[in-house]
Amino acid sequence: MVLSPIAGVLGGIYSVLAMDTALHHLLCMFHKAHQLSRASLASQIGCSTRSLARWEHGMTRPRMALAIRVSKVIGLSLDFLFGDTIASTGV
């Protein structure tokens, strides 16, 4: 089950997210906005709660396969989740 995009849930906060797109902030905001437990979100992504906790605390980042699942569950592109530095720097 894919939940609605975080932008639709958080409304006006979306413009603030564009400035700070760190994955750990987005994950925390998403599961709180949807009133999901960490275990529930981890189950939807297909990872352990420990892995999700590490991502939420900015200690690690998910492998590509899990990053794709995170993107689909949250409803945001990988570029947005990980910060599109190529577009913002013009490189």
**Angle formed at CA 78 by CA 19 and CA 82, multiple of 5 degrees:** 45
Q: What is the pTM of this model?
A: 0.67
pLDDT score for 58: 84
> Terminus-to-terminus CA distance in the chain, angstroms?
36
CB 27 within 8 A of CB 70: yes
Residue 75, pLDDT > 70, answer yes
Q: Residue 84: pLDDT band by 50, 70, 90 thresholds?
A: low
